[in-house]
Amino acid sequence: MEEIKNHMPLLGDDFPGMKVQTSHGPMNLPDDLKGSWFVLFSHPADFTPVCTTEFVAFQKRYDEFEKLGCKLIGMSIDQVFSHIKWVQWIKSELNVEIKFPIVAANDSVAMKLGMLHPGKGTNTVRAVFIVDPEGKVRLIMYYPQEVGRNMDEIVRSVKALQISDAKKVGVPAGWPENELIGDRLIVPPATDEITAKKRCEDYDCFDWWFCHKPLN
């Protein structure tokens, strides 16, 4: 029997194509979401405390992701009926309706995304993939089972990627509340002496290699 290798796509790679079963029905990823940003995030298991807090937190930001044109997709190796029952429990006990689909990943799917940690049995790690409208992987985050994710950082990352693409700029640490330049954006460094000299005339700069401009 051929061994299934545990591969994690790299930044800029095509998100690996896969046919999956979800709590909302079958999906072809990334084809069904071409033209849209999406965040696919895996969790170790349904009916676990940390994962439950994460799903509630993602749902609380569902409308914010929608405004960004970004879809949410959960994933674990639990079967679809487990996903459905867990979502029902969250609705009845916590009064939160989970509106995004949850993939029932088999080992092949999980291995394509590097989600099975050798030291953690068959549970999937807490992975986050932000994928752009062309199906390219743009950002990857990995968390251990013990630590829940910060969903505000995931929202911020989607916003930052979209702004960087649209305006061809760099986005500073902690944006939009950077300690040096607030919500301003970083102008790409000059690549020749003439442009370097002009940079300081056209923009606010600490030096020719560190110039910034307003968001709008």
Specify if 1 maps to a domain: no
Q: Output the domain CATH number for residue 175.
A: 3.30.1020.10
Instruction: Looking at the structure, tell me whether residues 41 and 144 fall in a common domain.
Output: yes
Any domain includes 82: yes
pLDDT higher than threshold 60 for residue 2: no
Catalytic residue among 51, 70, 200, 205: 51
Tell me if residue 53 falls in helix, strand or coil.
helix
* 70-124 pLDDT, tens digit each: 999 999 888 999 999 999 999 999 999 999 999 998 777 777 787 766 555 556 6
Residues 129 and 42 grouped into a single domain? yes
Give the model's pLDDT for residue 4.
Answer: 46
Q: In what order do the strands lie in the sheet with 102-104?
A: 25-29, 18-22, 102-104, 70-76, 37-42, 126-131, 137-143
Q: Is the per-residue pLDDT at 62 higher than 80?
A: yes
Nearest to 66 by CA among 36, 24, 25, 31: 36
**Model's pTM, two decimal places?**
0.91
164, with CB counted inside 10 A (0-12, 13-18, 19+), is middle
Tokens standing for residue 57: 């937190």
Structural domain count of the chain: 2
State whether 46 and 139 are in the same domain.
Answer: yes
Domain-located, residue 156: no
Please report whether residue 110 resides in a domain: yes
Residues 37 and 144 reside in one and the same domain: yes
Residue 115 sits in the same domain as residue 186: no
- 50 and 141 inside one domain: yes
Measured distance CA(128)–CA(29) in Å, rounded: 15
Domain that residue 180 falls in: 168-216
The reply to whether 204 and 133 lie within a common domain is no
Told to judge if 51 belongs to the known catalytic residues of this protein, a careful annotator would answer: yes
62 strand-pairing partners: none
Do the strands 25-29 and 102-104 form a parallel or antiparallel pair, or are they unpaired?
Answer: unpaired
Whether 114 and 196 share a structural domain: no
159-163, long-range: CB < 8 A, 24+ apart: 159/68, 161/37, 161/130, 161/132, 162/37, 162/68, 163/215
